[in-house]
Structure 1
Amino acid sequence: MNHQHTLTILPGVYDGLGASIARHVGAKAVYASGGAIARSFGLPDLGLVSMTEMASRLESIVCAFDGTVFADGDTGYGDTQHVRRMVQMFEAAGIKGVHIEDQSFPKRCGHLEGKSLISKDSMCRKIESAVKARRADDFLIIGRNDAIAIEGFAMAISRAQSMVESGADIVFIEAPETAEQVESIPGFFEVPVLINMFPGGKTPYTSPDSLEGFGYRYMIVPSDVQRACIQATESVLRSIVEKGNSESVSDLLSPLGDRDRFVDQDRWLEES
């Protein structure tokens, strides 16, 4: 996917409904956010969702979406053998790419403090295992590293280069901290580079046009959709609990027609 010099934007989704809405509004690719999926279980983004739980959720996202799905593989759920099984399960679920990161367990959201890393050699073995495990060459292995906050920018570049040498198809350096870092990262690599861009994170906001000009090929926006849902859900629930109805927040409610349209109800009824 995307061998051209253009930027593919992947909005983050975490269930079949979000994937279906993304399809209806014209998205060509989506990102199955591990953090958002964890929060949909009522859990923080600390590596608490199992491999099988994630694979099941990916199946529902793929079934609801007509396009490319990239997924968050966290740390690979263990050692190289776990990485191998994860790649096989996620590829069977129908996604087109997965990123694996070099945090030690328990992992944290990439924009939180207190992260720690496994060794560069251990991470490279995980990438090698992932490459060997895939059945199709066009299933993309994305090497993510979180080294900037721990070992510095130069080491993050070095770790990413080692992942590419081990077979990673795409580079993902998490949480660049300055505009200069954001601009310079793609120039270090001949493979495509992915960036995580969302409001409130450590990375300074950079427009899609600028990112494309710098050489990025993929931009994920992992949590904006869920953050909007969290705020709307809290407001509606608070109104129902305190007032017994949602009249005061009715502007937050989807019209019934849209509710049914986004899950293709008419098509299902026609085929029944």
Structure 2
Amino acid sequence: MTYLVAQDLPAEPAGLRLRKLLDRPGILQIPGAYNGLVALQAREAQFEALYLSGAAMSASMGLPDLGILTIDDVCFFVRQVARAAQLPVVVDGDTGFGEALNVMHMVRAFEDAGAAAVQIEDQLLPKKCGHLNDKRLAAPNDMAAKIAAAARARRHLYIIARTDAADSEGLEGAIRRAQLYIDAGADAIFPEALGNAEAFRTFARTIKVPLLANMTEFGRTPFMTASEFEALGYKMIIWPVSALRMAAKAHGELFAGIRHDGGTHRLIDRMQTRSELYATIGYHQYEALDSSIITSVVPEGMPQTIAKR
């Protein structure tokens, strides 16, 4: 199915569509999608919302997740992911790209690009991944001012305040910050890098707005499933970098295979076929929109090498 014609486009703003998903019972599962193709694959798997991770965007550009990206960089990713899948996209806004006026500019830019929600964290630049050590935090009132600015600027954008304070200020400090951010206008809270189920449970007992859990691999949070997080009181769960990690591992194995074997012949069965790719991106539906294009016939399988006589 293609989404190029007007009648196929969602009539409601993305932020309102996300709110409707969150109004339903159960936890909303939100996988990370760092480009348009991944977004289409997530949609095929029947996910209803997507997450755009700063770490994944940065890594896909060959950069570390240290707050290097600009608002325009992020909008490039938002536009392609939102356009491709037409699903609500939760966007990592890092520290807001500056202070209150910068945050307001970010909110409007993200909305115009098609975002449904923005996540803003209470670190200082240069920021770090939430699961790393020695993160520097903004003063609570300074972060609250950013949240208030975001709430003032938005038309429909859903605002998620992330706190990284549990590591340095303890769970009670993180909860105090979360309540301050709610009072400033946050719609939901993202307590980052909690280390055990009891910490997640305690947070949920105290904070009464929707909560987002981050099930990133190789971090401080133990592996838990969506249903386990739901039982702890969480409304959203993200897997922010999982798709990129899988793809990057496959890229490394591909290039090692070509270097070792002189070709890809040992890896063909691990590849998406041409037909599968074209089905995912709606190749033939695009062709059908332009009568000047003759429908393509897709080669099936791989030609076999002719044995030398």
Normalising by the residue count of structure 2, what TM-score does the alignment of the two structures yield?
0.85
How many residue pairs were aligned? 270
What residue is the counterpart of 2:62 in the other structure?
42
What residue is the counterpart of 1:120 in the other structure?
140
Question: 1:5·1:215 contact (CA, 8 Å) conserved in 2?
Answer: no
What residue is the counterpart of 2:192 in the other structure?
174
CA deviation after TM superposition for structure 1 residue 159, in Å: 0.5
Aligned partner letter, 1:269: E
Question: 1:28·1:66 contact (CA, 8 Å) conserved in 2?
Answer: no
Secondary structure, in 3 states, of the residue corresponding to 1:77?
coil
Larger Rg: 2
Q: 2:149 aligns with which of 121, 126, 129?
A: 129
- Map of 1:79-118 to 2, 5 A cutoff? 79-118=99-138
- Map of 1:1-272 to 2, 5 A cutoff? 1=19, 2-136=22-156, 139-272=157-290
Question: 2:92·2:118 contact (CA, 8 Å) conserved in 1?
Answer: yes
Question: 2:147·2:185 contact (CA, 8 Å) conserved in 1?
Answer: yes
Question: 2:103·2:146 contact (CA, 8 Å) conserved in 1?
Answer: yes
CA deviation after TM superposition for structure 1 residue 72, in Å: 0.3
What residue is the counterpart of 2:6 in the other structure?
none
CA deviation after TM superposition for structure 1 residue 162, in Å: 0.4
Question: 1:169·1:192 contact (CA, 8 Å) conserved in 2?
Answer: yes
Q: CA RMSD in A?
A: 1.1
- Matched residues in 1 for 2:102 and 2:270: separation? 42
CA deviation after TM superposition for structure 1 residue 189, in Å: 1.6
Unpaired segments ≥5 residues, structure 2: 1-18, 291-309
Secondary structure, in 3 states, of the residue corresponding to 1:10?
strand
Question: 2:175·2:207 contact (CA, 8 Å) conserved in 1?
Answer: no
Secondary structure, in 3 states, of the residue corresponding to 1:248?
coil
CA deviation after TM superposition for structure 1 residue 45, in Å: 0.8
Q: Percent identity?
A: 34
CA deviation after TM superposition for structure 1 residue 183, in Å: 1.9
Runs (4+) of structure 1 exceeding 4 A deviation are: none
Aligned partner letter, 1:52: D
Aligned partner letter, 2:105: R
Q: Deviation per CA, 1:131-173: give whole Å up to 9, x if none.
A: 001023xx21101010011111110111011000100000101
CA deviation after TM superposition for structure 1 residue 21, in Å: 1.2
Unpaired segments ≥5 residues, structure 1: none
CA deviation after TM superposition for structure 1 residue 243, in Å: 2.6
Secondary structure, in 3 states, of the residue corresponding to 2:161?
strand
- Matched residues in 2 for 1:4 and 1:239: separation? 46
- Matched residues in 2 for 1:5 and 1:199: separation? 26
- Matched residues in 1 for 2:72 and 2:146: separation? 19
CA deviation after TM superposition for structure 1 residue 213, in Å: 1.7
CA deviation after TM superposition for structure 1 residue 244, in Å: 2.2
Aligned partner letter, 2:56: A
